[in-house]
Structure 1
Amino acid sequence: MDKDNLIQKWLSDELTVEERKAFEAMEDAAFYEDIVKNAGMFKASNFSTVADFETFKNRAVKPDTPVRKLHWLKPALRIASILVVSFGLYYFLTLNKSIEIQTLAAEKTTIELPDASTVELNALSQISYNKKEWDKKREIQLEGEAFFDVAKGAKFDVVTSQGTVSVLGTEFNVKQRGTYFEVACFEGTVRVVAGKDVKILKVGDNFTSINGEVVSGKNTFESPQWTKNISYFQRIPVSEVIAELERQYNIKVTVENIDADLLFTGGFAHGNLENALLAISEPLGLNYEILKPNKVRFSKREK
């Protein structure tokens, strides 16, 4: 039985003995059980009603986004494709064959590069590279967050405003949002240069820089959780958590009497706003209010 069906039967409590063994053997079984366990303890705020959790899980667990290959489009066709498709995947080819791809809020996409490397782009993110010079220089400019599966070959560089990541062939995730910079290695070895800091990451290593302050950490997943439609954080300022919530749900969040440097460990799934708000507010002791379909307010809970 495939993973999605296994999770669906687990949610509806229909697993056989053998199927339960298979579910418990999954690498992220404990993570799913923890989300369900904690959600069961949540109480809805006075402002909203919690949607059915099974619906939330079914929406959160989605198949991987299919790989899309880039093709040459004439200027007029490029404009037409943006207006018609509206997926937030833009193809801009300049005279030097520079390609730029970006996603909208609440959107993800996967791109295949000329050497068969792939890039999974998270919401409100952008990459650009020179197709004409790719064989000579494998270099990607990144703003936002992306997961890279790099084909073996010459050096592969990911350049951000906060630092550069260099590899030969591996799997790694890079996130750069303002002065927040994070690199996680999932396969092979990764070299990170951020200002005066130079770090070599191996499988399971994390490098995080927040406003220039470097923190080293570990990850236990085989791939970034956002590629499975779950945003996960380990001791990250709540301001960055809220910013990610805005990107994934295309909403505007305001806060009242909340310390922006308050650290958060946990996660929220993409696909059900009510459950995402609960997953953030309950561990931090916050209230939330949905003011409009695209506007939310967090406030400190009265003791």
Structure 2
Amino acid sequence: MDKDYLIEKWLKNELTDAEKEAFEKLNDYQLHVDVLDHAKHFKASNFSDVDDFNTFKEAYQDTTPIKKIDWFKPMLRMASVLVIGFAIYFSFFYNNLTQIETLVNQKSTIQLPDNSQVTLNADSKLVYNKSNWENKRTLELDGEAYFKVAKGKTFDVVTSNGIVTVVGTEFNVKQRNDYFEVKCFEGIVRVTSDTITRQLLAGDTYRVLNTIFTQDKITYTVPQWTKNVSTFKAVPFSRVILEFERQYGVHVKVNNTDEKRLFSGGFTHNNIENALMSITEPMDLNYKISTPNQVVINGNKK
């Protein structure tokens, strides 16, 4: 029998015994009964008059989709609880982080919870969790830092280009964009960058520059930048300029020269004129301090 026909006669209470039996066998028979039962407890407004099957059917069809999404409400509540939980966790976690930053032309020395010492070079940042240090000895470094690690203590220095694992030693880590360099001054450090892992002893250098890996030796016992001298060995001139800008807080404009040319040498941090002569003379360049914070380097020496 036609379903709509049965529903219409059921609403009018005009079903024959055979029709009633067919109606009760419908898959959604109980749903219709429940709808009508709930409707008995609903007080309609004076502006409504549902007194025929077509009107009832339209109202019923309009309300059915709403019932289908009721299950979503508990899911929304659960999602809200999870979001709030994560927010509380991350708020607690990050509020416990210690972050040290240096500006251009600035250096800073701090002491870690295990009495290890870290000196940050200009324009660098160090982040670690002081409250959880005993359980997770990890520091994140962006820039350059010199570490004096307390004897018998171990921790990892994590950068975007590699990880340095140490045990009671002194070492320097430099991470600037695609420049990653580690120098060991005492003890042993283990360095991993991409697929390249090396164990460095005192005097060893590990460097990855523009994805090219090299190893070298050093003879001095501490990083020269801690003595206000920046040194370089076969480094593109553009890198030298960037470091010069960090140490003096100036902007350098380079004209008529190949900034990929390799430079070996250094400059001091306490006299801008002497520093400029140190980096321009070996490259057959000249310079001009146009404003207190602007330097122009030209490729044609006059």
Tell me the TM-score normalized by structure 2. Answer: 0.68
Q: Which residue of 2 aligns with 1:180?
A: 179
Q: Which residue of 2 aligns with 1:170?
A: 169
SS in 2 for 1:278: helix
Q: 1-side partners of 2:127 and 2:107: how far apart?
A: 16
Q: Which residue of 2 aligns with 1:214?
A: 213
Q: Which residue of 1 aligns with 2:134?
A: 135
Q: 2-side partners of 1:245 and 1:139: how far apart?
A: 30
Flag the structure with higher helix content. Answer: 2
**Contact 1:96/1:132 (CA < 8 Å) preserved in 2?**
no
SS in 1 for 2:131: coil
Moved >3 Å (runs of 4+): 93-96
**Contact 1:157/1:166 (CA < 8 Å) preserved in 2?**
yes
Q: How far does residue 155 in structure 1 lie from its aligned partner after superposition?
A: 2.9
Between the two proteins, what is the percent identity of the paired residues? 52
Q: 1-side partners of 2:136 and 2:169: how far apart?
A: 17
**Contact 1:149/1:170 (CA < 8 Å) preserved in 2?**
yes
Q: Which residue of 1 aligns with 2:226?
A: 227
Q: How far does residue 293 in structure 1 lie from its aligned partner after superposition?
A: 0.5
The CA deviation string for residues 213-253 of structure 1, in whole angstroms up to 9 with x for no partner, is 11111111100000001101111111111100000000000
Q: Could you tell me which amino acid in structure 2 is paired with residue 202 of structure 1? A: L
**Contact 1:268/1:276 (CA < 8 Å) preserved in 2?**
yes
Q: Could you tell me which amino acid in structure 2 is paired with residue 220 of structure 1? A: T
Q: Could you tell me which amino acid in structure 2 is paired with residue 122 of structure 1? A: N
The CA deviation string for residues 122-149 of structure 1, in whole angstroms up to 9 with x for no partner, is 0000000001110112111000000000
Q: Could you tell me which amino acid in structure 2 is paired with residue 108 of structure 1? A: K
Q: Which runs of 5+ in 1 are unaligned?
A: 1-92
Q: 1-side partners of 2:301 and 2:127: how far apart?
A: 47
**Contact 1:147/1:173 (CA < 8 Å) preserved in 2?**
yes
**Contact 2:254/2:296 (CA < 8 Å) preserved in 1?**
yes
Instruction: Provide the aligned length of Structure 1 versus Structure 2.
Output: 211
Q: 2-side partners of 1:154 and 1:222: how far apart?
A: 21
SS in 2 for 1:106: coil
Q: Which residue of 1 aligns with 2:123?
A: 124
Q: 1-side partners of 2:241 and 2:177: how far apart?
A: 14
Q: Does 1:255 align with 2:260?
A: no
The CA deviation string for residues 87-137 of structure 1, in whole angstroms up to 9 with x for no partner, is xxxxxx965511000001100010000000000000000000001110112
The CA deviation string for residues 148-180 of structure 1, in whole angstroms up to 9 with x for no partner, is 001133531000001000011100000001111
Q: Could you tell me which amino acid in structure 2 is paired with residue 164 of structure 1? A: I
Q: Could you tell me which amino acid in structure 2 is paired with residue 280 of structure 1? A: I
The CA deviation string for residues 20-56 of structure 1, in whole angstroms up to 9 with x for no partner, is xxxxxxxxxxxxxxxxxxxxxxxxxxxxxxxxxxxxx
Q: Which residue of 2 aligns with 1:238?
A: 237
Q: 2-side partners of 1:213 and 1:176: how far apart?
A: 14
**Contact 1:138/1:155 (CA < 8 Å) preserved in 2?**
yes
**Contact 2:147/2:172 (CA < 8 Å) preserved in 1?**
yes
Pairing 1:1-303 to 2, within 5 Å after superposition: 96-302=95-301
Q: CA RMSD in A?
A: 1.4
Does 1 or 2 have the higher relative contact order (CA < 8 Å, sep 6+)?
A: 1
Larger Rg: 2
SS in 2 for 1:282: helix
Q: Which residue of 2 aligns with 1:23?
A: none
SS in 1 for 2:259: coil
The CA deviation string for residues 172-192 of structure 1, in whole angstroms up to 9 with x for no partner, is 000001111110000001111
Q: 2-side partners of 1:235 and 1:302: how far apart?
A: 22
Q: 1-side partners of 2:229 and 2:154: how far apart?
A: 31
Q: 2-side partners of 1:203 and 1:178: how far apart?
A: 26
Q: 1-side partners of 2:119 and 2:199: how far apart?
A: 23
